A and B are shown apart, each in its own frame.
Chain A
């Protein structure tokens, strides 16, 4: 069955540093992958999408990579701020449609 793993349940970093979150998937080949942010008590909010033929995507301080050979996506937040503290979810698509398999998430804490 399809399986999604995110590098760690929790990640603590110092303000100003770059946070790197990892998403690994097995047993399928998604056409694209999305990253979402989730704050406590709220629903996930879309951040970035990257397609299988794209190696890298950027949006402001966010960068996502997608390595279909390694079956891995990396999510980077540069110059991190305490306001970036949240849980980040990766979601590879299933069969290119709207059904996603979500990873368990990584809870990021940016310490001032």
Chain B
């Protein structure tokens, strides 16, 4: 199993550009989420999903869109990139239910100039 796969690993954008960060998992996990990680601030939840067709906002959703059309894929869209969105983005998945651990992808390092 590949686990959680994120693409691309690195991306540089100009302010105002749009892009989609891809996340796919092959473990049949119902739950998927996106976090951003900034120095000294820990991981902050952007959006999450508990199954295909169901998404909800996390702590820092502004500027990001998500959709979940299949169990496997959970893309994160930046509609108009801003320098404040420069960060490392992690996708995570897990089975639904209490006491489940998160499986993380290897991250996407995004720079917005």
Q: Which residues of A contact B (CB under 8 A)?
A: 4, 9, 31-32, 34, 36, 41-46, 49, 51, 89, 91, 96-105
The 8 closest A-B pairs by CB, nearest first: A43-B104, A102-B43, A46-B101, A102-B42, A104-B42, A98-B31, A44-B104, A96-B98
Contact, CB under 8 Å: A100 / B99: no
Partner of A31, one of B98, B103, B104: B98
Q: Is B35's beta carbon under 8 Å from chain A?
A: yes
A-chain residues with CB within 8 Å of residue B48 when the two chains form the complex: 98-99
A44 to B31, CA, bound (A): 17
A48 to B64, CA, bound (A): 31
A104 to B35, CA, bound (A): 13
A41 to B104, CA, bound (A): 12
What total of A-B pairs shows CB separation below 8 Å? 62
Q: Is B54's beta carbon under 8 Å from chain A?
A: no
Q: Is B12's beta carbon under 8 Å from chain A?
A: no
Known: A34-B102, A99-B48. 10 other contacts (CB 8 A): A4-B42, A36-B102, A43-B4, A43-B105, A98-B100, A101-B42, A102-B35, A102-B43, A102-B44, A104-B41
Most buried by A among B42, B48, B58, B106: B42
Contact, CB under 8 Å: A89 / B40: no
In the complex, which residue of chain A has the Cβ closest to the Cβ of B96? A98
Residues of B in contact (CB 8 Å), total 28
A9 to B18, CA, bound (A): 34
A-chain residues with CB within 8 Å of residue B33 when the two chains form the complex: 98-99
Cβ distance A19 to chain B, nearest Cβ, rounded Å: 19
A52 to B45, CA, bound (A): 23
Contact, CB under 8 Å: B104 / A99: no
Contact, CB under 8 Å: A99 / B107: no
B-chain residues with CB within 8 Å of residue A105 when the two chains form the complex: 42
Q: Is B90's beta carbon under 8 Å from chain A?
A: yes
Contact, CB under 8 Å: A99 / B42: no
Contact, CB under 8 Å: B106 / A98: no
Q: Is B94's beta carbon under 8 Å from chain A?
A: yes
B-chain residues with CB within 8 Å of residue A32 when the two chains form the complex: 98-99
